Structure 1
Amino acid sequence: MAPHKYGGLAFIAEVYFGSPSIRQYLHVDTGSSLTWTQCFPSSHSFVDHIYPKYWPEDSNTYRDAECEPTANNSNPKFSFSDSSGVCSYEQTYVDGNLIRGRLAEEMITLQLRNGEFKVVYDVHFGCNDQAVGEDYIGTGILGLAAGNFSLVEKLGSKFSLCFGWIRESKPTHNLILGDGANLQGNPTEINITGGHYMCTLEFILVGEELKTVNDTIQAVYLDTG
């Protein structure tokens, strides 16, 4: 969950970047595919003093990445700069916030369910330099939508996201990436369109009353962002 300062208004995953590793707090977003974190120094940063800062020049495993064709609409727009040899990106989210930076590769470390840690090498991520708009929660975004640079595809194209009671003082939510992901409850068919996860919404239960959904809004995105 988000730190107390933000009133628990977002689901946050702890991911360690680089070597030596720096803990980053990433907003879990199933509506976008690019994982990014704020890199320092930066031209405009939203990260305040409560968060650890990631400096790519201090990491032994950081390197700039080459541009690759994007496969779907969940990816940001990429442009390659011949003069500097840097693959830059720009993405605007539905709330109007805009980010800019350079595509890079880094070693990340994830905590497993048994408390141990797993190292994943050569992960594409956005080394963010500029953020325009309202303040973000955490140090960046954990992009879980389908796409070229999605961490989900890097780890076997499977993940499960389980939410506990949202307002509990000690959250029991968990995110499982890769083969450890498991299905609970009745299955719901999910389609992938333009990199986004979509399902058909037929009814909404309000109290004890079952509301039928209008035909024009049956297709809905699954977007934790």
Structure 2
Amino acid sequence: MGFSFPLKFLIVIVSVSILLVLPVNSTSRNNGIKRSRGFQVSLRHVDSGGNFTKLERLQRAMKRGRHRLNRLSVLAAVGPLAEDADVKSQIHSGSGEFLMELSIGTPPSPFEAILDTGSDLVWTQCKPCRQCFTQKSPIFDPKKSSSFSKLPCGHKLCAALPMSSCDEGCEYTYAYGDYSTTQGTMGSETFTFDDKVSIPNVAFGCGDDNEGTGFSQGAGLVGLGRGPLSLVSQLTEPKFSYCLTAIGGGDGIDDTSAKSTLLMGSLAGIKPGKSGKVVTTALAKNPLQPSFYYITLKGITVGGTRLPIPESSFNLASDGSGGMIIDSGTTITYLEGKAFEAVKKEFVKQMDLPADTSGSTGLELCFTLPADADDITVPKMIFHFDGEDADLDLPGENYIIADKSSGMACLAMGSSGSMSIFGNVQQQNMLVVHDLTKETLSFVPTQCDQL
């Protein structure tokens, strides 16, 4: 069982593209916000407009992804219940891979923020800055906004901060795994999305001391984690979804016109009659890291073979290690070491191509493409998640990446020490719906550039 890919069908694309993503066909809570209006926002990749080829963009993202994996793996096991929680519970995952445009205040002051599903706090840089990094847009001045107010020390979201103090208002410190930090005063403000929808009374960090390299692409960060401080948790309808377009463009250089999409609140649901097969699984919880979106993976099928991977390989341990999270900020999927070795072994067995061991692409498993090949066959790949009919049958382009120029086809996955992460390449061209009320996560096949 597998996918057959006609290379000759893409001769024109190949001639102008460094990295070809194979198109293959199958053969086998409410925290005070009063409005329930949803909104839609375009997302752009942090490397868009950087004149990178697809391969360069993938390699840059993989480098960030490996660092993020290392941080997330450590954080999951040293969360708020650790013995030295006074230090370790203050660390969060760090920046993501996508940026969103929004505005803050009255009148609205536009800025661009990093979208992060691995942390909670919403924040931006504020005047007067004691320590601020350079940003493209003007730094927000709360004194010039008629809708700004300081969050009182007795507010429940001040109490939800991992580290806070009380002076003239609720003071916060929030640190990330790459040693970047933001400090300042918690405020309440009106945020405007898509230049249309204004949401009042959003609690956010007004950062006047922001240090580190993790925020250089944006002017702040929008946390979409499961904790009470996140933007989604503050909505009347705590639900969001995103739809990520395929990595790169079709002309060899990154195509910025194919924007990904974020949908929040009432717009984030699944539309009956307009969706393909919906795969839904329950969200699991890690008490040590309640903000992460854990999902339960039961097994993996490659071709027609259910791999002999013990379910324990993906279990969440009592010490907070292991398990699998879904993350928009990690590019390729990382599987627990023994599970990845089983996947790798089966692909080597089923792919009718010689394995490449040079490591030149940075990916752990690649195959040499015949120079005169008109097509290649890749086995099907199914992720079996917990739940009735929760088998996610991935399109071939969501796990095999072919580089016609270098003559290699690679598996867009890698190995990890403990925690597994379901990355954004595997999520491309799917509407990924996070429902914090039902505590579910759903995948819906979607042409993301047409939303």
Query: What SS class does the counterpart of residue 215 from structure 1 fall into?
Result: helix
Query: How is 1:3-42 mapped onto 2 (pairs within 5 angstroms)?
Result: 4=49, 10-42=97-129
Q: What is the match of residue 161 of structure 1? A: 242
The 3 A distance-change label for structure 1 pair 208 and 13 is: farther
> Partners of 1:207 and 1:24 in 2: how far apart?
46
Instruction: Summarize deviations over 1:71-93 as a string: whole Å, max 9, x none.
Output: 998x4322212xxx221111111
Cα distance in 2, alignment partners of residues 20 and 46 from structure 1 = 24
Change (3 A) 1:117 1:90: same
Aligned twin of 2:328: 224
Letter aligned with residue 87 of structure 1: C
- Per the alignment, do residues 69 and 61 of structure 1 end up closer, same or farther by CA in structure 2, a change over 3 Å counting? closer
Q: What is aligned with 1:173? A: 260
Q: Select between 162-171 and 63-72 the one with higher mean Cα deviation.
A: 63-72
Percent identity, aligned pairs only, is 28
Q: Please tell me whether residue 148 in structure 1 is matched to residue 257 in structure 2.
A: no
Cα distance change, pair 187–102 in 1 and its aligned pair in 2 (3 A): same
Per-residue CA deviation, residues 95-120 of structure 1 (Å, 9 max, x unaligned), is: 22221111001111112xxxx61111
CA RMSD of aligned residues (A): 2.9
1:152 partner SS: helix
Q: Which of 150, 165, 188 does residue 79 from structure 1 map onto?
A: 165
Which aligned pairs between 1:1-225 and structure 2 lie closer than 5 A? 1=44, 2=46, 4=49, 10-48=97-135, 50-67=136-153, 68-69=155-156, 75-81=161-167, 85-111=168-194, 117-136=196-215, 137-155=217-235, 156-168=237-249, 169=255, 170-183=257-270, 185-193=278-286, 194-203=290-299, 212=309, 215-218=312-315, 219-225=323-329
How far is 1:140 from its partner? 0.7
Displacement, 1:178?
Answer: 0.4
Q: 2:157·2:203 contact (CA, 8 Å) conserved in 1?
A: no
Contact 1:34 1:76 (C-alpha < 8 Å) held by counterparts:
no
CA shift, 1:180, in A, is 0.9
TM-score, normalising length from structure 2? 0.43
Larger Rg belongs to: 2
Offset at residue 141 of structure 1 (A): 0.7
Confirm or deny: 8 A CA contact 1:143 1:151 kept in the other structure: yes
CA deviations over 1:164-193 (Å, ceiling 9, x no partner): 112131233111110111246422322244
Following superposition, the deviation at residue 6 of structure 1 comes to 9.9
* CA deviation after TM superposition for structure 1 residue 128, in Å: 0.8
The TM-score with structure 1 as length reference comes to 0.82
- Which range moved further: 98-107 or 130-139? 130-139
Would you say how many aligned residue pairs link Structure 1 and Structure 2? 216
Deviation (angstroms), 1:139:
0.6
Please give the secondary structure, in 2, of the residue aligned with 1:196. coil
Tell me which amino acid in the other structure corresponds to 1:197: Y
Q: Assess if the C-alpha contact under 8 Å between 1:163 and 1:173 holds in 2.
A: yes
Distance in 1 separating the partners of 2:125 and 2:51: 18
Q: Please give the alpha-carbon distance, in whole angstroms, between the structure 2 residues aligned to 1:146 and 1:214.
A: 25
Q: What is the one-letter code of the residue matched to 1:132? A: E
Determine helix, strand or coil for the equivalent of 1:149: coil
Contact 2:178 2:214 in 1 (8 A): no
Structure number with higher strand proportion: 1
